[in-house]
A and B are shown apart, each in its own frame.
Chain A
Amino acid sequence: MSGSLVHNLVRRLAYAFISIVGVAALVFVLLRMVPGNPVATLLGEHADNETVERISSSLGLDQPLPVQFANYVLGALHGDFGESYTLGKPVSELIGPAFLNTLWLAIAAALVAWVVGIACGLLAAIRKGTVVDRLFMGFSLLGVSLPVFMVAMLLQYLFARYLHWLPVAGITDWTGYILPAIALGWGSAGSIARLVRSSVIEVLQQDYIDTARAKGRTNTQVLVLHALRNAMLPVITLMAMQFSGLLSGAVITETIFSINGIGRLSVQAIAGRDIPLLQGTTLLCTFVIVMGNLVADLLYNVCDPRVRKGA
């Protein structure tokens, strides 16, 4: 059994590597297909053609596309993602600290999403059809439907400007993460709550729940020992995939709360036509999402004995 697990892992890692290289190539080509010359943008409108050509050649932009890509991949494998045009620093040095900030935000948001989502979903499921159920489901629908920027600004208004409990924006200590974590995590909490609810309700209808009750288990024991693990199977996959999403998609939240993370860095790179920096952030996000999906698959493998062998 462990042999097939290792085999499975190697195969999935190979797929993951292919996905990452594929996305890197796509992003590389797309960024060069965008009309306009990044060097001209960089130098401003008064630069003469000669200077533009000189700088282009020093950046290697005059070489054929396949050569540029090969150089890029070779560099990337050594941890060299080139130098940012606008910030004048190696991309790897810029991405590192930004990723750390994003990571803290993602962890905080995931904590909100998982704790609130699972608790609400579970309570709604066992109190199906009651006021509690409707209240929690309404709350989660709100989380799923409200745009992040609106939630973010409402939170800022209520807790920072009106109540003065928490900072409006910027990270000085951990309290700075609270509002962005809620803004970012609410939507995920909503979808987790809905999935947990429907999954628990479905599992509680299963025959093996009757079996467990027929053994003499109390309702609480049946829920914890027999229903929960089975009900969590689809939820685990969602949670792992959401986490990689949180790590790569916090552009709006980071901008509103002035957090120097990957999302904000990407926005800066787009605005400045900073191709190496944008390639770096995109590659990182691809890596995170591919790895997130991989972890989701592996977790599912570990938790569900039925897929362990077949895959």
Chain B
Amino acid sequence: MTHSTLEVSHLYTSFFTEHGEVRAVQDVSLAVGRGQVVGIVGESGCGKSMVARSVMGLVRKPGKIVSGRILLKGRELTSLSEQELCTIRGRDISMVFQEPMTSLNPTMRVGRQVQEVVTIHEDVPKQEARRRALEALGAVGIPEVEARYDAYPHELSGGLRQRVMIAMAMVMRPRLLIADEPTTALDATVETQIIALIKQLAETGTSVLIISHNLGVIAQLADYVYVMYAGRVVERASVLDLFDHPLHPYTRGLLGAVSSLRGQSKTLQTIPGVVPNLAHLPAGCSFAPRCDRCVARCASEQPELVTVGSGHEVRCHLAKGADAV
């Protein structure tokens, strides 16, 4: 049996705070195949970044993975020691963070920060590590790499810094790249360039897990999409299916908000209300309080993920019957 690059099954990650257990990730399962780009989309606070951090083993205290399995090429990660995880992070899985302004060490030259990744994982001479860092910086389209190598982060623009972050993530040619809102802090033209760069990486065989609240970014990049709401996956489908036949009321709401911006509607469509408090989730469907199609059952019973088509699953009581579509 061939393994997917990443397989997450029934992942639960919680924060144990003074106000009780905050369930940031509940029963999330997902898979990323070789060279595949998989997107996770949802509002802020829906748990999408926590899925990424769980995979990286970078959940900060008081948070921790409660249960579930995370397999990287068939190798279980959740049972590894911190020491063992250190040999995997940066080499087999790497991550690009949201804020290129603050994600680089301000007192270290950017070239050194890329070179560092090589020297952590391989016992190579300094010259060789430097050469590979330069190559990685060149590969992400940084002009005049020799000069930029010795620059400090504050001397580079946001777009260049995010390129440095990607070079850092790609220098070891990892199997999996996790990009957490990689373009959110950048302006639109730079966003387009970064998306093109990630696409190019996927074409060379790297699997990518991209996290965004921006459906446009997901539409351009992802092959397959997971929609998360309040810590749970509420819908998963191929990108075409999702955009053409969204089934969950939340997904429709998200798409509605975008299409209304494209001028098909005069008024901006929004989803009323806010994401529920993860420490006090409603007993039934967590989207029920905001849902315009909510029925009695929704308030009392948690819906299961059900398959509605090939590779299309949705967590909604209404989706089972024909009345949903």
Q: A interface vs B, CB < 8 Å?
A: 206-208, 210-219, 226, 229-230, 233, 303-306, 309
B194 within 8 Å of A by Cβ?
Answer: no
| Chain B residues whose CB sits within 8 angstroms of the CB of A218 once the complex forms | 82-83, 86
A155 to B: closest C-beta gap in Å: 39
| Chain A residues whose CB sits within 8 angstroms of the CB of B107 once the complex forms | 229-230, 233, 303-306
Which of B103, B117, B155 contacts A216, CB < 8 Å?
B117
B104 within 8 Å of A by Cβ?
Answer: yes
| Chain A residues whose CB sits within 8 angstroms of the CB of B243 once the complex forms | none
Q: Number of B interface residues, CB 8 Å?
A: 32
16 of the cross-chain contacts (CB-CB < 8 Å) are A207-B99, A208-B106, A211-B104, A211-B165, A211-B168, A212-B105, A214-B56, A214-B94, A216-B89, A217-B86, A230-B105, A230-B107, A304-B107, A305-B106, A305-B107, A306-B152
A216-B117, A219-B82 in contact; A306/B154 too (CB < 8 A)?
yes
A210-B58, A230-B107, A305-B152 in contact; A216/B91 too (CB < 8 A)?
yes
B265 within 8 Å of A by Cβ?
Answer: no
A210 and B56 alpha carbons, distance in the complex (Å): 10
A217 and B168 alpha carbons, distance in the complex (Å): 13
Digitize B77-99: 1 where CB-to-A-CB distance is under 8 Å, 0 elsewhere: 00000110011111100110101
B58 touches A305 (CB 8 A): no
B260 within 8 Å of A by Cβ?
Answer: no
| Chain A residues whose CB sits within 8 angstroms of the CB of B117 once the complex forms | 215-216
State the main secondary structure of chain A at its contact with B. Answer: helix
A228 to B: closest C-beta gap in Å: 10
B116 touches A210 (CB 8 A): no
| Chain B residues whose CB sits within 8 angstroms of the CB of A215 once the complex forms | 89-90, 94, 116-117, 120, 168
| Chain B residues whose CB sits within 8 angstroms of the CB of A304 once the complex forms | 106-107
| Chain A residues whose CB sits within 8 angstroms of the CB of B105 once the complex forms | 208, 211-212, 226, 230
A305 and B107 alpha carbons, distance in the complex (Å): 6
A217 and B252 alpha carbons, distance in the complex (Å): 42
Which of B102, B121, B169 contacts A207, CB < 8 Å?
B102
4 new A-B contacts at CB < 8 Å, known A207-B97, A215-B117: A211-B113, A214-B58, A217-B86, A217-B120
A214 and B108 alpha carbons, distance in the complex (Å): 16
Which of A210, A215, A217 has the most chain B CB atoms closer than 10 A to its own CB?
A: A215
Chain A residue at minimal CB-CB distance from B178? A214
| Chain A residues whose CB sits within 8 angstroms of the CB of B83 once the complex forms | 218
A216 and B152 alpha carbons, distance in the complex (Å): 22
A181 to B: closest C-beta gap in Å: 32
| Chain A residues whose CB sits within 8 angstroms of the CB of B87 once the complex forms | 216
Chain A residue at minimal CB-CB distance from B92? A216
| Chain A residues whose CB sits within 8 angstroms of the CB of B116 once the complex forms | 215, 217
A211-B165, A229-B107, A304-B107 in contact; A216/B90 too (CB < 8 A)?
yes
Q: Which of B111-158 contact A (CB under 8 A)?
A: 113, 116-117, 120-121, 152, 154-155
B103 touches A208 (CB 8 A): yes
